[in-house]
Amino acid sequence: MPLKGGTLGVGSIDGRLLLYDATTHQLIRSYSKAHEKRIGVLAWNDNILTSGSRDCTIQYRDIREPDSRPFRTSSAHKQEVCGLRWSTHTGSGGGRILASGGNDNKVCVWDMRGSTRAIATASSSSSSDTGSSNVASDADVPLWRFHEHKASVKALAWDPHVSGMLATGGGTQDKHIRIFNVHQGTLVHAMDTGSQVCNLMWSTTSHELVSTHGYPSPSSNRFANNRICIWKHPFELVASLTGHMSRVLFLAMSPDGSSIVTGSGDETLRFWSVFPAKADVVREWGGDDSVLDYSNQIR
């Protein structure tokens, strides 16, 4: 149920898509049978609401338009779409690149600008080394497909500090966090966390990544289950936070970037102060025009 400004989007088990005024709690708009099956994930991009469903499709709607039909539909996944994330990087392509993850263990990257890339030759190492599919861009064809994960991919996070860097997390049979360069279609980092990766989120004030976890591997004792981990880029463990008694299924960040809140099947919300606030970073580095060296920044 993502929130965009004062509008809350809700996807239902029967495929309906509902928009509510978050202040008055009044229903603003209803898209009946937006999908043929349950809607499991939603993502906002300004006025564009993107929905992923068990019917294996991704649909795009401009909520300003009176037409209830999507202006675009993508169907590259073979099983339920369980993860969606728009890039928010201010660099080239920011706000126009969408990542999707599915129960088919695939990650797809979509370029809404309609960009194309050259089809690689048979000798290209991009496909053989990373498992990415070399296909031409089209209305229903992803710019990249990544096949490295061995379980469903719900956790997706775009690096706000480095353009084109996407972090992905795999389920119980995979347990890996992987970082892809979507400009080149390559896998650049991978880490076996020892447990199911439920959520990923980058800090906005330091080059660090938050991951939340669920079921552990029976053979792994490095990470207990139900943890929240803080990683300095790429995979230097800074902190491992405990407290939840069940899988940590939900993760959100405060507007100033200093705190996170986690939700779990143990029916608790827990608030953690983990990062410097944006105002503190600006003061430390000398104003709004300063450039941070995220590769060397220390907590």
Q: In what order do the strands lie in the sheet with 39-45?
A: 39-45, 48-53, 58-62, 72-74
Query: What percent of the chain has pLDDT above 70?
Result: 78
Averaged pLDDT score across all residues of the chain: 84
- What is the rounded CA–CA span in Å between residue 105 and residue 172? 11
Say how many residues make up the chain.
299
Nearest C-alpha neighbor of 161 from the set 259, 251, 234? 234
* Per-residue model confidence as pLDDT tens digits over 46-78: 999 999 999 999 999 999 999 999 999 999 999
Output the CA torsion sign for 141, 142, 148, 151: negative
Asked if the model's pLDDT at residue 80 lies above 80, the reply is: yes
Quick one: average pLDDT of 169-173? 95
The CATH number of domain 193-299 is 2.130.10.10: yes
Residue 285 burial class via C-beta count within 10 angstroms: exposed 0-12, middle 13-18, buried 19 and up: middle
What predicted TM-score, i.e. pTM, was given to this entire model? Answer: 0.84
Residue 126: per-residue pLDDT: 38
* Per-residue model confidence as pLDDT tens digits over 233-251: 989 999 999 999 999 999 9
- CA triple 174-207-299, angle to 5 deg: 110
Of the candidate ranges 8-22, 187-201, 211-225, 258-272, the one whose mean pLDDT is the lowest = 211-225
Contact 268, 287 (CB under 8 A): no
Residue 225: per-residue pLDDT: 83
Domain map of the chain by residue range?
Answer: 193-299
Contact 197, 175 (CB under 8 A): yes
Residue linked to tokens 């959520």: 199
